[in-house]
């Protein structure tokens, strides 16, 4: 099956990036969100990011205009029904994702492949709440989507080979690289990355090092482009906590216990860059450690 039309659910940080790369690769994209304001912001951000690519010579002015013309927006979720491929990129809460799929299912075309951009939730369990577990899989992009080259493709227990092959062909057309992961909590990237971030937070919690010392140590000592606490703020501390809880609940191993300090920051609403404060305070000209 050749995929031509793509629906993206959620116009936030991940959804707008997914719409961007699909439109640039020649797909007709319909982006939906419950918020008209979020859709408007997404279009503005996509245009700004395309401008940045054009200024660097990565794309032409014609490429930019053609990509923007391929993106339509709607507040009506069921408008995505006829799409060949749908990628759900809503918030990382299983109840929200399940509600989206249950609303979509009666309106889907017979051939539509349903996917989720979830970073940790069971694909098999999400698929079981739909009418097409064989045409359901994980399609996990990295953030920021236009920049990061990896896509994790995750099969549920029922995912059939044609659906997997169709999604693999899409990843190749996007110019990205696919890594195939089995359907276990947090898959590959976050199974390795999140415990490292959680351990960095424990290192801060226990007073082993300051925010600045921990991030500097990993950047210079392990050659990471971004320190783990800075990265946590970029991802969103609520997302980090959600993934750690999925790992802890799904694998029943105490080594995945979320650090109490991470929980405290989330309870305070200090979620990182998106709220202006996390392990750093972003409200001034230069980020300043909050601890």
**Is 176 within any annotated ligand binding site?**
no
Report residue 106's pLDDT band, with 50, 70 and 90 as the boundaries. very high
Are residues 109 and 200 located together in one domain of the fold? no
Report d(CA 238, CA 201) in Å as an integer: 14
Are residues 175 and 197 located together in one domain of the fold? no
Q: What is the tens place of the pLDDT at every residue in 128-172?
A: 999 999 999 999 999 999 999 999 999 999 999 999 999 999 999
Are residues 140 and 201 located together in one domain of the fold? no
Report d(CA 58, CA 63) in Å as an integer: 10
CA neighbor of 68 nearest in space, from 92, 44, 36, 90: 44
Place of tokens 């996917």: 115
Three-state SS letters, 204-233:
HHCCCCCHHHHHHHHHHHCCCCCCHHHHHH
Are residues 217 and 176 located together in one domain of the fold? no
The answer to whether the CB of 115 falls within 8 A of the CB of 135 is no
**Is 33 within any annotated ligand binding site?**
yes
CATH of the domain at 261: 1.10.1040.10
Q: 108 in the Ramachandran plot: left (φ > 0), alpha (ψ -120 to 50) or beta?
A: beta
| Residue 1: predicted pLDDT | 79
- What does the pLDDT average to over 92-106? 95
**Is 143 within any annotated ligand binding site?**
yes
CA neighbor of 91 nearest in space, from 44, 38, 135, 133: 38
| pLDDT, the chain, mean | 97
Are residues 196 and 165 located together in one domain of the fold? no
- What does the pLDDT average to over 101-118? 97
**Is 250 within any annotated ligand binding site?**
no
**Is 60 within any annotated ligand binding site?**
no
For 273, the domain range is 191-289
**Percent of the residues in the chain that have a pLDDT greater than 70, as a whole number:** 100
Are residues 164 and 45 located together in one domain of the fold? yes
Where b means 16+ CB within 10 Å and e means fewer, 58-70 reads ebeeebbeebeeb
Q: Which residues are catalytic?
A: 119, 140, 152, 190
Are residues 174 and 66 located together in one domain of the fold? yes
Domain count, the chain: 2
Q: Is the pLDDT score of 61 beyond 90?
A: yes
**Is 222 within any annotated ligand binding site?**
no
The answer to whether the CB of 167 falls within 8 A of the CB of 156 is no
Report residue 7's pLDDT band, with 50, 70 and 90 as the boundaries. very high
Q: How far is CA 6 from CA 3, 23, 84, 144, in A?
A: 8, 9, 6, 19
Place of tokens 């300051």: 210
Domain end, chosen from 182, 206, 230, is at 182
Are residues 214 and 163 located together in one domain of the fold? no
CATH of the domain at 109: 3.40.50.720
- What does the pLDDT average to over 233-258? 95
The answer to whether the CB of 205 falls within 8 A of the CB of 245 is no
Report d(CA 169, CA 264) in Å as an integer: 43
Domain end, chosen from 150, 182, 214, is at 182
């Amino acid at each position: 099956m050749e995929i031509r039309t793509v629906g993206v659910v959620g116009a936030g940080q991940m959804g707008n990036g997914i719409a961007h790369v699909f439109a640039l690769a020649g797909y007709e994209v319909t982006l939906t969100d419950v918020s008209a304001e979020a859709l408007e912001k997404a279009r503005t951000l996509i245009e700004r990011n395309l401008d940045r690519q054009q200024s660097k010579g990565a794309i032409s002015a014609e490429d930019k205009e053609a990509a923007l013309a391929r993106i339509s927006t709607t507040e009506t979720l069921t408008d995505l029904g006829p799409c060949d491929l749908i990628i759900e990129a809503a918030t990382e809460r299983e109840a929200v994702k399940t509600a989206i799929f249950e609303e979509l299912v009666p309106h889907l075309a017979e051939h539509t492949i349903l996917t989720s951009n979830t970073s940790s939730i069971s694909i098999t369990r999400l698929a079981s709440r739909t009418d097409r577990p064989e045409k359901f899989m994980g399609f996990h992009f990295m953030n920021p989507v236009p920049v990061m080259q990896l896509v994790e493709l995750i099969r549920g227990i029922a995912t059939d080979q044609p659906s997997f092959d169709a999604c693999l062909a899409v990843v190749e057309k996007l110019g990205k690289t696919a890594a195939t992961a089995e359907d276990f909590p947090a898959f590959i990237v976050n199974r390795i990355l999140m415990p490292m971030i959680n351990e960095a937070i424990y290192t801060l919690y226990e007073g082993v090092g300051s925010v600045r010392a921990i991030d500097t140590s990993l950047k210079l000592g392990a050659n990471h482009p971004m320190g783990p606490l800075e990265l946590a703020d970029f991802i969103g501390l609520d997302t980090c906590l959600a993934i750690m809880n999925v790992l802890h609940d799904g694998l029943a191993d105490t080594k995945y216990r979320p650090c109490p300090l991470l929980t405290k920051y989330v309870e305070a609403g200090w979620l990182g860059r998106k709220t202006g404060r996390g392990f750093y305070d972003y409200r001034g000209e230069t980020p300043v450690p909050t601890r």
